[in-house]
Amino acid sequence: MNSILDTFFGLQGRTALVTGGAAGMGYGIARALALAGARLVIADRDAQAAEIAVAKLREAGCEARAYIIDLSQESEIAPMFDAARRYFGTVDILVNNAGSYPKYDFLQITAEQWNAVHQLNLRSLFVCMQQAVKLMLEAGRGGRIINISSVASVHPATIANAHYSAAKAGVNALTRGAALEFAGKGITVNAILPGPIASDGPRDPDAPPVIGPAANPQRWITGRMGTIDEVAAAVLFLAGAGGAYTTGQALAVDGGFLLS
Ligand SMILES: NC(=O)c1ccc[n+]([C@@H]2O[C@H](COP(=O)([O-])OP(=O)(O)OC[C@H]3O[C@@H](n4cnc5c(N)ncnc54)[C@H](O)[C@@H]3O)[C@@H](O)[C@H]2O)c1
């Protein structure tokens, strides 16, 4: 890397943990951080995909480990951070990316379905942040937390998605709250709000078609969906030294969807 890129974006000697890092946006983010020099912990419930992701990163000359976890199981989260500490000493960068977006009819959603969406998309992020901040404070060299939210947190994106919008709005509030708490310790906390992104993660073939503003190509004012790399590039900025003075922000990577 030439020196200005290295100064702003270089992550040599840093450890990043990316949840849901085996596939889709998470893998693209993990790959970008690893290629910028970070050691990677790929945390995912899909063991096969996680091992493939790690093998690809190692082939590219990066240092990476997989950690298999169902983030919905809260008791599994602290042991994951213990393992990351054992593997690489600490966690400097946490990317809370894992999430799911099942569609449920507003009038039919059950308490169990609501709770499952909020457990994974909001509560598990909070618990990961708690664990990561403890390691960051212990290491005493600041840190970066990047929460993958959604444009749906500030503008309804699709039908049958209000439960998800509510969880992601919680992520934005959590981001700002934690940013305020830890700014004095050199730990930045930001959210990225992707718009419609062509992700390649596993899809339920029986899922109903997605309907609503974000699924309407007329609302894609750039004329296309976003790419995983366009989200990864925003993460890279926030993760590096160049992002040190940016905290508590919600950065939409949406091709102008929120303007449309
Ligand atoms: N794709 C989009 O258009 C879009 C738009 C806005 C926001 N987002 C957000 O971006 C993030 C990633 O989305 P994506 O489309 O890449 O998802 P994806 O479904 O393609 O991939 C998610 C990854 O997370 C893992 N995962 C899912 N549940 C898990 C669990 N309980 N424990 C551990 N790992 C788990 C999966 O195995 C997979 O590897 C999510 O938070 C999502 O809400 C996506």
The answer as to CATH 3.40.50.720 being correct for domain 3-255 is yes
Confidence of residue 2 (pLDDT cuts 50, 70, 90): confident
Question: Quick count: other Cβ atoms within 10 Å of Cβ 189?
Answer: 28
Q: Mean pLDDT across the stretch 117-132? A: 98
**Domain ranges in the chain?**
3-255
Mutate which of 95, 100, 228 for ligand 1 pocket (most atoms within 8 A of beta carbon): 100
Please check whether residue 19 is in contact with residue 41, taking contact to mean a CB–CB distance below 8 angstroms.
no
pLDDT at residue 203 in the model: 66
Report the share of the chain in percent with pLDDT over 90.
91
Phi and psi at 90, nearest 5°, equal -165, -175
- Select from 99, 108, 120, 118 the least CA-distant residue to 208: 108
Q: Which two tokens stand for residue 89?
A: 């000493």
Q: Measure 150 CA to ligand 1 centroid, in angstroms.
A: 11
Whether 67 is catalytic is no
User: Per this entry, what is the length of the chain?
Assistant: 260
pLDDT at residue 201 in the model: 57
Q: Measure 189 CA to ligand 1 centroid, in angstroms.
A: 20
The 10s digit of each residue's pLDDT in 199-258 is 875 567 777 778 888 888 988 999 999 999 999 999 999 999 999 999 999 999 999 999
Residues ≥6 apart with Cβ < 8 Å to 1:
9, 10, 36
